[in-house]
Amino acid sequence: MKILVTVKRVPDPNATIKVKPDGSGIVTDNLKYVVNPFDEIAIEEALRIKEKGGGAEVVLASIGAKESAEQLRTGLAMGADRAILVLADQPLDSLGTARIFEKLAKDEQADLVLMGKQAIDDDCNQTGQMLAALLGWPQATFASKAEALDSDAEKQGLPGVVLSGKSAKVLREVDGGLETLEIGLPAVVTVDLRLNTPRYASLPGIMKARKKELKEVPVASLGLDVAPRVKIHKLAPPPARQAGRKVASVEELVQVLHTEAKVI
Ligand SMILES: Cc1cc2nc3c(=O)[nH]c(=O)nc-3n(C[C@H](O)[C@H](O)[C@H](O)COP(=O)(O)OP(=O)(O)OC[C@H]3O[C@@H](n4cnc5c(N)ncnc54)[C@H](O)[C@@H]3O)c2cc1C
How far apart are the CA of 178 and the centre of ligand 1, in A?
15
Closest CA to 112 of 241, 231, 5, 264: 5
Say how far apart CA 76 and CA 86 lie, in whole Å.
16
Q: pTM for this one?
A: 0.84
Please name every residue paired with 85 in a beta bridge, in sequence order, or none if there are none: 62, 216
Ligand 1 pocket check for 174: Cβ under 6 Å: yes
DSSP per-residue string spanning 39-96: HHHHHHHHHHHHHTSS--EEEEEEEESGGGHHHHHHHHHHT--EEEEEE--S---HHH
Say how far apart CA 24 and CA 74 lie, in whole Å.
30
Tell me the longest C-alpha to C-alpha distance in the chain: 71
- The pLDDT tens digits for 217-244 are 999 999 999 999 999 999 999 888 889 8
Mean pLDDT, the chain, integer: 95
pLDDT recorded at residue 202: 93
Closest CA to 86 of 191, 7, 11: 7
Burial class (CB in 10 A: 0-12, 13-18, 19+), 87: middle
Ligand 1 pocket check for 102: Cβ under 6 Å: no
| CA-175 nearest atom, ligand 1 | 53
Angle between helices 127-135 and 94-108 in degrees, nearest 10: 50
- The pLDDT tens digits for 106-158 are 999 999 999 999 999 999 999 999 999 999 999 999 999 877 888 888 899 99
Residue 221, Ramachandran bin (φ over 0: left; ψ between -120 and 50: alpha; else beta): alpha
How far apart are the CA of 115 and the centre of ligand 1, in A?
19
How far apart are the CA of 84 and the centre of ligand 1, in A?
33
Ligand 1 pocket check for 175: Cβ under 6 Å: yes
Neighbours of 194 (CB within 10 A): 20
Ligand 1 pocket check for 235: Cβ under 6 Å: no
Asked if 137 and 166 touch (Cβ cutoff 8 Å), the reply is no
Angle between helices 37-51 and 69-78 in degrees, nearest 10: 30
How far apart are the CA of 174 and the centre of ligand 1, in A?
10
pLDDT classification of 77: cutoffs 50, 70, 90: very high
| CA-142 nearest atom, ligand 1 | 1
